Structure 1
Amino acid sequence: MIVDNSKLNLGPVKSFKILKEYVLGYKNVGASLEDFKIFSRDIKRYLSEGDAQMLIEHFMKIKHMCPSFYFDFDVDSKGRLSHVFWVDPISIKNYMLFGDMTSFDTTFKKNKYRMIFGPFKGVDHHKRCVIFGVGLIINESKESFVWLFNKFLDAMGGRHPVCLITEEDEGIEEGMKLSWKDKVQHRYCMWHILKKLREKVGPSICKETEF
């Protein structure tokens, strides 16, 4: 029950209370709240140690069923998963049709595994957001972005986007220069520009609608 509830983001305290209602009283639970907390901690630690291997095995199963599915990964000097990239056949097809203008965004930053989520996105002919590929990287260094951009290019058969739209980030810019040279135009995302506008130019100029 603790494991199932954790998939719904319900912690050990709520699990303890839910089970109390189910068995009609705390005395019938058969464990204390502290037992619930300890078990929850231990099961999370156990699962986290195998999550990376489970992810790679999952991708391998998909690759076996669908040979057009592309994925690659890298590990650090300690054997820990450091980079992952994957893209399915539909995403590749979308990129061939709508990938001239591609957006790459790492705004979501780090998850609980301290890895940075970086999707490649675009817009189709119905103005809907479509995903071209997804990467997880350990940090925002130029080396990580070089690895990711090269894997993206490999998955897309060597076809570069005409323009890549990103946030302002030194690691991304250096990674682009090293991996894609000058083959791709680079532009900053308007959302990030407008977000920084007030602090850069001041509130008085922001009120100038003509400007």
Structure 2
Amino acid sequence: MNVAKPCPTRKTDCKAVINALKVQGKMRLTTIHNTHNHGLSPQKSQFFRCNREVSEAIKRILDTNNLAGIRMNKSFRSLVVGAGGFQNLPFLEKDCRNYIGKARHLRIGVGDAGALQDYFSRMQYKNPRFFALMDLDDDGRLKNVFWVDPHSRVTYQDFGDMVTFDTTYLTNIYGMPFAPFVGVNHYGQSILFRAGLISSEDTETFTWLFQTWLECMDGIASPAIITDQDRAMKNAISIVFPKGRHRFCLWHILKKVSEKLGSHRVYKSGLKTQLMKCVYDSQTIEEFEKSWE
């Protein structure tokens, strides 16, 4: 009902489904349920992901507005008004944000990329063990960068049994996610193994980053890697490190506890304390399982 936040679809727990299985090169239908629990609206098929498209003309408008500093919600609203309503646009605001985000990540000047290449060349001249690799798109623009200094390569051999990986955004004009690989030394201190700048956070980009990591470390993969609950990271890790032990970051998990349970009275009256004790004070698997129950 809120015209400012239109929802093109809504969940009705519809059981209509068609499943198919590929058998000897042919598709065989295995499950067919034709009955819907809602009315059908073929005219709304434009909102399916496969049908949504941002035209070149709209992209030019979005680029111009972005360079002028116009926020995306206002830019999209102007497109809605010009089209005569949300239902007349073949895309959603999310599609516009995705386009601008990708364009911004790749909008790095040729001079800046050249300066970065010169810096890497100087470092490799001083020490051949310095490793750097730059990934370019089809137009020759910088997409992803990966580099490791010689000290970090030696440190990884001693303390690379566990690595944490996360992407934290830098507040720079490029908006490229900074992707550090971090470990822990024998003093319990965090140490930087290697780092990269990436254009986007999708499976393809993470796969390139992890494969470059393996190339740099002579094919020696860390037995364990800790990340947040990002599906693209999970997919890339399963591709590049199929035998690795992948776990989610405890901080990211516990961060959601207050969001999920904070409104319950029992959470503030003792459940939070019991939960933290279970997580942080359990020394064995059996002790944790008993405390968790």
Q: Tell me if both proteins adopt one fold, taking TM over 0.5 as the criterion.
A: yes
Pairwise TM-score range, normalised by the shorter structure? 0.7 to 0.9
Which of the numbers 223, 231, 254 marks the counterpart of 1:162? 223
- Would the aligned equivalents of 2:110 and 2:141 in 1 still touch at CA under 8 Å? no
Tell me the number of residue pairs that the alignment of Structure 1 and Structure 2 aligns. Answer: 164
CA RMSD in angstroms, aligned pairs only: 1.7
**Higher RCO, 1 vs 2 (CA within 8 Å, ≥6 residues apart):** 1
Corresponding residue SS for 1:147: helix
Write the mapping of 1:12-161 to structure 2, written as runs, cut at 5 A.
Answer: 48-108=109-169, 111-161=172-222
- Provide Cα deviations, 1:129-158, integer angstroms capped at 9, x if missing partner: 111100111000100000000011111111
Compute the TM-score of the two structures, normalised by the length of structure 2.
0.53
Q: 1:110 to 1:174 in 2, by over 3 A?
A: farther
| 1:198 to 2:262 alignment | no
Is the 8 Å Cα contact of residues 69 and 89 (structure 1) preserved in structure 2? yes
Report the Cα distance in structure 2 between the residues aligned to 1:206 and 1:160, rounded to whole angstroms: 41
Code of the residue aligned with 2:229 in structure 1: it is E
4+ runs deviating over 4 angstroms: none
| Shift in CA distance, 114/77, structure 1 to aligned 2, threshold 3 Å | farther
Q: CA deviation at 1:202?
A: 3.4
Alpha-carbon distance in structure 1 between the residues aligned to 2:263 and 2:148: 43
8 Å CA contact retained: 2:226, 2:248: yes
Identity of paired residues, percent?
41
Structure 2, unaligned runs of 5 or more: 1-107, 276-293
Structure 2 Cα separation of the partners of residues 202 and 189 of structure 1: 21
User: What displacement does 1:109 show?
Assistant: 6.0
Tell me if the contact between 2:133 and 2:147 (Cα under 8 Å) persists in the aligned partners: yes
Describe the superposition over 1:71-90 as per-residue Cα deviations: whole angstroms up to 9, x where unpaired.
Answer: 11110122110011000111
CA distance in 1, matches of 2:267, 2:129: 49
Larger Rg: 2
Secondary structure of 1:210's match?
helix
